[in-house]
Amino acid sequence: MKNLEALSLKVANNQLYILDQQLLPDEEKWLLVESVDHMVQIIKDLKVRGAPLIGIAASLSLALFTNENTTWNEFKALEKKLRESRPTAVNLMNALDRMLEIAERSSMDYQKIVEQAENLFAEDVELCLQMAKAGADLIEDGDNILTHCNTGGLATVGLGTALGVIVQAHQQGKKIHVYVDETRPLLQGGRLTTWELEQHNIPYTLICDNMSGKLMAEGKVQKVFVGADRIAMNGDFANKIGTYNLAVICSHHKVPFYTVAPQTTVDTECASGAGIPVEMRKPEEVRGIYGSFGEIRWAPKNAKVFNPAFDVTPCGLLTGIVLDGKVLSQGELKSGVLKRILNKG
């Protein structure tokens, strides 16, 4: 396989390395992926995370742990383990579908399998650029933008989705400021988005998730950009838990609310948000917190917990979706534009 390099994933001498995102921002430690089972654990532990990145990391590991002697049945068994590692981000299933398709069509031609994984990497870099360009046009000089979770180079192998748009606007010379939702329970905003914004020298302010309403009531947020983990054909979408709350507050305060995603995040088999599976995670993540700083619990040891990793925002709350190089309005989404673009009738 070619050598490949992204912010939190690299391939060197046919070995796959992952930047352990659980240790950021304080420690930058690269993990050598030792097997498909190891990759599955890395995905489950959110050491690698973000919808597009999960799909690409899984596909690269599948290609790298396949060889000339791997049979179709062995390949399918490895693929299945990866597919089941996380349930909501459809980029994982979409990428693995494409790996399976090439393996079957080429009768397990090892070189073709490797090329397909490399193509998925190159495609994501290109789609990130398209999203960044199309989305940055929506941002004006002086805007205060609010974002949720982490949607940058740590969630993709390119510039990012929502954060890529923000970075692009900054690189165009627009004077912007970003409010970063810390994103409980796992703090992807507080730990990762802040880290990326500092690398790009973009001014930001970190807030707790329950502070966005006050900011909007005071007229301090001009636009909200978030990512997506699965977009249904009617424009409903799943994203990090808390996105729906944000969409409702934006609707009340008439703050434009966009999601930014590549076409690899669309589930062409899913008619509406009601069909999106939502991952439920461990109660420990809500009873306290853990990371490179250690582990702390503040709730009673057996406190009953509700911990969905994602929520679903109905299309009716969206101003629009930045999909690849296009901005699709709520009206277009409701009139079935995704079906037309993706040739699904």
Structure tokens at 79: 């693929």
CA distances from 212 to 196, 205, 248, 282, 295 (A): 21, 12, 11, 26, 27
Collapsed DSSP state (helix, strand, coil) of residue 126:
helix
Please name which of 194, 177, 181 lies closest in space to residue 142, comparing C-alpha atoms.
Answer: 177
Binding of residue 128 to ligand MRU (CB under 6 A):
no
- In angstroms, give the least distance from the CB of 21 to ligand MRU: 8
- In angstroms, give the least distance from the CB of 240 to ligand MRU: 3
* φ/ψ of residue 52, rounded to 5: -65, -40
Q: Which of 16, 92, 134, 228 binds ligand MRU (CB under 6 A)?
A: 228
Structure tokens at 222: 């001009």
Binding of residue 8 to ligand MRU (CB under 6 A):
no
Binding of residue 197 to ligand MRU (CB under 6 A):
no
Question: How many CB atoms neighbour CB 207 within 10 A?
Answer: 17
Binding of residue 108 to ligand MRU (CB under 6 A):
no
Q: Between 45 and 64, how does the x/- string for binding to ligand MRU read (CB under 6 A)?
A: -x--xxxx------------
Binding of residue 229 to ligand MRU (CB under 6 A):
yes
Tokens 């796959």 map to which residue? 16
Of the two residues 188 and 313, which places its CB atom closer to ligand MRU in the complex?
Answer: 188
Q: Which residues belong to the active site?
A: 229
d(CA 191, CA 21): 9
Taking CB atoms, the residue at the shortest distance from ligand MRU is: 227
Please name which of 107, 111, 108, 127 lies closest in space to residue 56, comparing C-alpha atoms.
Answer: 127
Which parts of 129-168 interact with ligand MRU (CB under 6 A)?
Answer: 149, 151, 155-156, 161
Query: Judged by CB under 6 A, how many residues of this single chain contact ligand MRU?
Result: 18
Structure tokens at 199: 């690398």
- In angstroms, give the least distance from the CB of 91 to ligand MRU: 8
- In angstroms, give the least distance from the CB of 312 to ligand MRU: 12
Binding of residue 263 to ligand MRU (CB under 6 A):
no
Q: Which of 82, 108, 187, 309 binds ligand MRU (CB under 6 A)?
A: 309
d(CA 259, CA 318): 8
* φ/ψ of residue 308, rounded to 5: -75, 135
Of the two residues 21 and 319, which places its CB atom closer to ligand MRU in the complex?
Answer: 21
Binding of residue 276 to ligand MRU (CB under 6 A):
no
Binding of residue 242 to ligand MRU (CB under 6 A):
no
List for the chain the helix, strand, coil content (%; round to 5): 40, 20, 40
* Angle at 204 (CA atoms; ends 46, 250), nearest 5 degrees: 80
Binding of residue 169 to ligand MRU (CB under 6 A):
no
Q: Between 82 and 101, how does the x/- string for binding to ligand MRU read (CB under 6 A)?
A: -------x------------
- In angstroms, give the least distance from the CB of 229 to ligand MRU: 5
Please name which of 231, 240, 241 lies closest in space to residue 318, comparing C-alpha atoms.
Answer: 231
Compute and round to an integer the Cα radius of gyration of the chain. 19
Please report, as ranges, the residues that interact with ligand MRU according to CB under 6 A: 46, 49-52, 89, 149, 151, 155-156, 161, 188, 227-229, 239-240, 309
